[in-house]
Structure 1
Amino acid sequence: MTSGRDIPEEYLAGYATILADVRTTGRRPGREALDARRALGEKAAEAGYGLRGLVGAHLAATRTALGGRTATHHVLAAVESAVDAFAEGYERAQRLAVRQEEAARREFIDDLLLGRSDLGRLSERAARFGLHLAHAHAVAVARGPECYEDTGAAVRQVELALTARFGDRTVLLATKDGRLICVAPGTDDEVLSCFAQHAYAAFGGRGAVAVGRPHPGAGGVVTSYEEALGALGIADQLGLPGPVLRAADLLVFPVLTRDRAAMADLVLSVLGPLRAGRGGAEPLLETLDAYFGSGCVAAEAARRLNLSVRALTYRLERIHRLTGTDPGDPVQRYTLQTAVIGARLLGWPAHAL
């Protein structure tokens, strides 16, 4: 535990001046001085210093500032010891409460997302966390290069950012399977956008965040959560750029794979002939992927593939000859692009269909 003597001087800046002013004028500290103390208190909390050590440091500074008279010195020493003990008990209870709250929140999230409790019981428990399951909610899921942990710095960073901006607005943060989950009212997209921004930044701009659509009821939370997970999976399969993915923008992809047999037939029928190309189908499939991903702009697609425009044009012509479908033709392009998306979703040609 950090003692008062271990607290850096920067967190006591201006305190001695306040005491000197009080001794001189007899008036309480003004608003500006107290605002400065609050700002330093927030800074100390963000730096991880405990309440007990901070209070002890201020009491010690008070004793030093008043000094001189023995009686005053002894009284302040006794106050310092008593407040230190009080703060120790406070922190002990606070740590226990935090652990209990984290366990309850994690259990609630698991039961909510896995449907392991009846609706009435879920609604009662949801009220404890400020959620009204009769309303619509949306879920955002953040995935980082490392696991999010309940007491980790990344989670604290996101929680502090949301609290600072939205105060007591209804937001539930929890970790599940190493991901960070945010449940917010479906009408409050600003909260989820802020969550996405800070969750992505918490790991230095690595990872991804997916946001599900708003849905009503307890089942709606599950649906939104599954949509967010699905968006992350689609992004992995298709190499979609992040950092924020919205399920509402990706609705076409689940539709495409709903009839797997039909999609597999389309992929093999349209793209199967690419296997006859030099190096197999994968290089030509990558070419189509880059071409469609760049909005069918040859120069941009060539840059993404580290090719010359001439080499890219040659590949597109070879694809036309092999498949009989012209990537540059607006009508034929749709069939070809749909087949490319299907190939990525089904893992072809690495996996046989």
Structure 2
Amino acid sequence: MDVLARVSEATGVPADLFSGCLPALASAASSGRLPGREEIATFRSLGGEAAERGIALRSLADACLLAAELSARAAPPPVFAALRRMLSAYADGYEDAQRRALRREEDARREFVDDLLQGRAERLAERAEHFGLGLAESYVVTVARPGAPLPDVEALAGRIERALIARFGSRNILIAAREGMLVCVAPGSLTAATGEFTYHVRGAFPPGWRVGIGRPHRGAGGVVNSYREATGAIETGDRLGLRPQVLKASDLLVFPVLLRDRAAIEDLVGSVLSPLCEARGGPEPLLETLEAVFASQGNQTAAARRLGISTRAVTYRLERIRRLTGFSPDEPTQRFTLETAVLGARLLGWPKEPFQEAP
């Protein structure tokens, strides 16, 4: 049995990956010449091929060393210098191949997340299995938006995903970075995963963060719906100036209903609140007063504390609102109309964003 066959049998490394070692070693032994540029390039290429074929770098190095040992028991110093140079080239090529494979995996993951959240269904179920998701069950999507841009949001996504998988022992969780935010896709049955994700967000995000949680939905289309609900919850919280940092879409279902008939809500806001534009200082202080009163369940003293003004000032503003609009928050039916109009105004951005005139 020749040297190549013996080395391949002993190490399990195919002979074509290290056969070039023997001529290079023989040349170094006879003339002292070390491997040149072309030979180094060949070894780098073979190192990358070994990585792609799943041969461990340790096994490849062992094959080279064993080939040197069997071909020259008493090798002169140039042989070992040549061997070091060859092994270095093998390692460079091997590591380059691993980095390329990692980048391909990251690109594939990023493309999959975009397709999943935008509902592009080409081979989606097959690709989902590769990333550990079985789309036949229900999933909940949670979106976390930082208060300020994060330097390496993708690395943070990887750390949090590993932490959740270690905690719950399930590969059926996906966390990814998208548009500067973190997106968590978890089974609807694994309710604790959302809380664990939020816990890590709280510890890693700068102040001003907000989390939106969608409702559980089934299938690939359900993931899209839950994602839209989660981002919609964040947008609604911003528009309404809601205090909670964690918002559930299930708690905010009334707001999509309000916006479903935009013409009707514009008519309500315009009819009820437009007289507030006549107030000194504009409508904003009066709108803030109504919001504070509603948030305090009609308690004017508590509303005054929220606003940082006196109770008398709150009473004065409410009276001013009653005179201008004809609606009072003290009367149940009128209170509902006022509160709905104020919510509609915040959702529509009124009065900063005037309504468009119908053509």
Q: TM-score, normalised by structure 1?
A: 0.70
- Select which of 248, 251, 263 maps to 2:265: 263
- Select which of 81, 84, 106 maps to 1:102: 106
Does the 8 Å contact 1:142/1:200 carry over to 2? no
Which moves more between the two structures, 291-300 or 234-243? 291-300
Alignment deviations for residues 6-27 of structure 1 (CA, whole Å, 9 cap, x no partner): xxxxxxxxxxxxxxxxxxxxxx
Which moves more between the two structures, 96-105 or 251-260? 96-105
Match of 1:7 in 2: none
Which moves more between the two structures, 129-138 or 92-101? 92-101
- Displacement of 1:88 after TM fit? 8.6
Q: Where do 1:272-283 residues align within 5 Å?
A: 272-283=274-285
Match of 1:176 in 2: 178
Distance 2:276 2:192 in 1: 45
Match of 1:284 in 2: 286
Distance 2:165 2:150 in 1: 18
Does the 8 Å contact 2:154/2:177 carry over to 1? no
Distance 1:284 1:206, change over 3 A: closer
Distance 1:303 1:143, change over 3 A: same
- Structure 1 unaligned residues grouped into runs of 5+: 1-80
Letter in structure 2 aligned against 1:313: T
Letter in structure 2 aligned against 1:144: P
Q: Which has the larger radius of gyration?
A: 2
- Displacement of 1:99 after TM fit? 2.9
Q: Where do 1:114-193 residues align within 5 Å?
A: 114-118=118-122, 121-147=123-149, 152=154, 154-193=156-195
Q: Where do 1:179-328 residues align within 5 Å?
A: 179-328=181-330
Does the 8 Å contact 2:153/2:182 carry over to 1? no
Match of 1:52 in 2: none
Distance 1:123 1:321, change over 3 A: same
Q: CA RMSD in A?
A: 2.4
Letter in structure 1 aligned against 2:234: L
Match of 2:75 in 1: none
Alignment deviations for residues 32-52 of structure 1 (CA, whole Å, 9 cap, x no partner): xxxxxxxxxxxxxxxxxxxxx
Paired residues, what number?
269
- Structure 2 unaligned residues grouped into runs of 5+: 1-83
Match of 1:111 in 2: 115
Letter in structure 1 aligned against 2:328: D
Q: TM-score, normalised by structure 2?
A: 0.69
Distance 2:125 2:254 in 1: 33
Alignment deviations for residues 97-120 of structure 1 (CA, whole Å, 9 cap, x no partner): 4433321111001111223333xx
Distance 1:146 1:87, change over 3 A: farther
Letter in structure 2 aligned against 1:326: S
Alignment partner of 1:274: what SS?
A: helix
Alignment partner of 1:227: what SS?
A: helix
Alignment partner of 2:277: what SS?
A: helix
Distance 1:148 1:107, change over 3 A: farther
